[in-house]
Amino acid sequence: MRESARKGFVTVATGNTMYYIMARNLLLSYRHFASDPLPFAIICDRTNRYTDCFDDVILLRDPTRSYNDKLLLPSLVPYDQTIFVDADCLAYRDLNDIWTIFEGSPAFGVLGRQLPLDSENGWFKKSDIGDLSDKIKFCITLHGGAYYIDRNGAGLSDFIGTVAYVHEHFFDYKFRLFIKPADEPIFALACAVLGYAPADNYFPWICYNHTTFS
């Protein structure tokens, strides 16, 4: 791994080979449109001919092959500043433009909407999150296709701890659209507790990748 790399991208693929194929397609689409490609890493549960394409490969020690693996992103990112993109996405313009959107973001940045505490449109309501209801600064929705992580950023350790707490107590709360745990509502509530406002953008640089080639 290139320890000196300051900026780069990462995706996650575990389990079914289909996810590795999609991750490779994402990488190739990024390199196709990027005028000056940055390092692109993959977090995964094994190496194979698809991971060989990536600049850096981070192997999970105990992969769950579920959303849980994405919850580890803040602890595993390989670059000083990293943008995560979901493996089931494809770039259709230069993703390097995204860095300007995340300028000024907290240690963990998301794309979405900051909503008032009394909003009915967020992924949770103040009255539905029990012991955290007095700690949230706003309600939120976010795009789970991309996250920004500054591994040296102030507050990242607090974010990691809050994510672990929300994950452990997920069923003590009620989320709109999410009956089962997922990274999106967990990251969203952690951001709201710490006051990490989202960048007001819904990521028009990607589309979902449903075409796979071997």
Domain ranges, residue 120: 112-143+152-194
Split into its structural domains, the chain has a count of 2
Q: Are 177 and 59 in contact (CB under 8 A)?
A: no
Cβ contacts of 210 within 8 Å, gap of 6 or more: 88
pLDDT for 137: 87
**139 and 180 in a common domain:** yes
- Mean pLDDT estimate for the chain: 91
CATH number at residue 28: 3.90.550.10
- Alpha carbon distance 125, 201 (integer Å): 22
Q: Is the pLDDT of residue 211 over 70?
A: no
Model pLDDT for residues 62-88, shown as the tens digit of each residue: 998 999 999 999 999 999 999 999 999
Residue from 158, 136, 139, 156 nearest 147 by CA: 156
Q: Are 195 and 154 in contact (CB under 8 A)?
A: no
What angle (nearest 5°) sits at the alpha carbon of residue 153, between those of residues 96 and 73?
A: 65
Model pLDDT for residues 10-52, shown as the tens digit of each residue: 999 999 999 999 999 999 999 999 999 999 999 999 999 999 9
Provide the pLDDT confidence category of residue 205 given band limits of 50, 70 and 90.
low
Q: Is 189 exposed, middle or buried (0-12, 13-18, 19+ CB in 10 A)?
A: buried
**80 and 14 in a common domain:** yes
